[in-house]
Structures are given as C-alpha cells and as structure tokens.
Amino acid sequence: MLWTSRPAPVEFNPHPRKPMTMSNAIRIPNFALSGHSHRVVLFANLAGIDHTLIDVDLAAGEHKKEPFLSLNPFGQVPVIEDGDTVVTDSNAILVYLARKYAPDWLPADAAKEAGIQKFLSFAAGEIAYGPAAARLITVFGAGLDPERTAAVAEIAFTRLENHLNGRDWLVGDRPTIADVAIYSYTAHAPEGNVSLDGYPNIRAHLDRITGLPGFVAMPSTPVGLAA
C-alpha cells in the first residue's frame, strides 16, 4: 500500500514535546495528470515547501478505497498530510500552505485577500467547468458535452484575458496563490481542444508563471489541439 504508514518515530527524541519523524516533508498523495493536484505540487515547488509525492492510481480506483478514503472521504485528489493535519481540496490546500509557510503568496490585506478568493472561486467555477472539463473529455474520455465545455471555457478565458489587461499578475504586483490556482488547467486547455491563440494576455501570464524559480510542469498529453 502506498501511504498507509507514517515514518516511524526514532527511539531517542531530545525534544519530547516535538515528535521526531524521519522527515518533516509534507506528504502529497498525487495523480500526475490532475490539474488540481498539479496546482498544489506547483505551489509547493514555487514556495520551496519540502514535500514528498505519493502516486495515487486513479485508474485503479485507489482514491475510492481505504486508506485513501480515510484521508479524503470525498474520494478526490489532491490531499496533503502535514504531520497530523490533513487538508483536502486544492484551493484550501493553497490557502493552508501559503498561510503557514509562504505568507507572501497570500497577503493579509483585506482587499487583496478578497481579490485572491475571487480567483480561487473562478478556478473552482468557470475554469473547472470550462477548460478543465473539456480536457476531461479528451484525456480521460469523460461523457461531457464538448460544446458546453467549450462555451464555458470561452467565457472563462474572455474574463481572464480582460482582467489581465495592463496587469502582470492577477492580484497586486507579485504572484499569489490566485495565479497558481488558474495556471494548470489554463496552460493545458489545448489538450481539451480549447485554443489559447486569441488570448495574448493569458499566454503572457502563463509564460510569467513558467519563468518563476521552482516552476514544475504538469506532464502534457498529446490529444486535442496538443496532438
């Protein structure tokens, strides 16, 4: 089994209030072709957060069985385990990791935080039901309506393109978790037959993210316009 056991505590612990483990790395049960998972992995790398990836075989239904269901009863990746803390949902994980380990990526300023939350909702709304859903059809054979997902993708990318007019980053003057949240499914939209040709601001924004130190790509799938 893949992530049943935590690293065993060592026998001698000079700091008894702080349990020692072989590694303090955050554990990320992960599916490499999931944009939701990639969002978390990308952020951990951009923010320099020590982590260990554990592959979850979605095709074999590992996410619908124990021990995974004890971690996330929703039966979805991504999940993280940070010591005894388990966090589920990609955007919730971004918030948790930024708050705890990389606060520059989630400014406490009320207006900026609200702006970031807006784009987390956008990632879970228009992006999930547009380009992400379109890619589910071509990469995983999902029985969704390609015309509908293409229409939602167009709405999403038109809004994003307009927002990025005159801006380098979605909120404020530096990258935040908002930029990370929308990256993976936007960058891989062509796999779902959604072209980025008409969206120069979006393409420039994606390039800015790819150029950040620590950037890691999600594996490409040669389907749709990416074939």
Ligand X SMILES: N[C@@H](CCC(=O)N[C@@H](CS)C(=O)NCC(=O)O)C(=O)O
Which residues contribute to the site for ligand X (CB under 6 A)? 34, 36, 63, 75-78, 89-91, 124
Cβ closer to ligand X: 76 or 193? 76
Query: Least distance from C-beta 79 to ligand X, angstroms?
Result: 8
**Amino acid letter for position 102:** A
Query: Least distance from C-beta 90 to ligand X, angstroms?
Result: 4
User: Of 56, 96, 60, 100, which is closest to residue 77 (Cα–Cα)?
Assistant: 56
Distance in angstroms (rounded) separating the CA atoms of residues 23 and 26: 9
Query: Least distance from C-beta 2 to ligand X, angstroms?
Result: 15
How would you label 185-207 residue by residue, b for 16+ Cβ within 10 Å and e otherwise? Answer: bbbbbbbbbbebeebebbbebbe
**Amino acid letter for position 185:** Y
Q: Kindly report the number of other CB atoms within 10 A of residue 214's CB atom.
A: 12
Query: Least distance from C-beta 183 to ligand X, angstroms?
Result: 14
Query: Least distance from C-beta 33 to ligand X, angstroms?
Result: 8
Cβ closer to ligand X: 51 or 63? 63
Cβ closer to ligand X: 38 or 198? 38
In angstroms, what is the C-alpha Rg of the chain? 18
Pairing of strands 79-82, 85-88: antiparallel
Cβ closer to ligand X: 7 or 144? 144
Cβ closer to ligand X: 91 or 149? 91
Distance in angstroms (rounded) separating the CA atoms of residues 178 and 168: 12
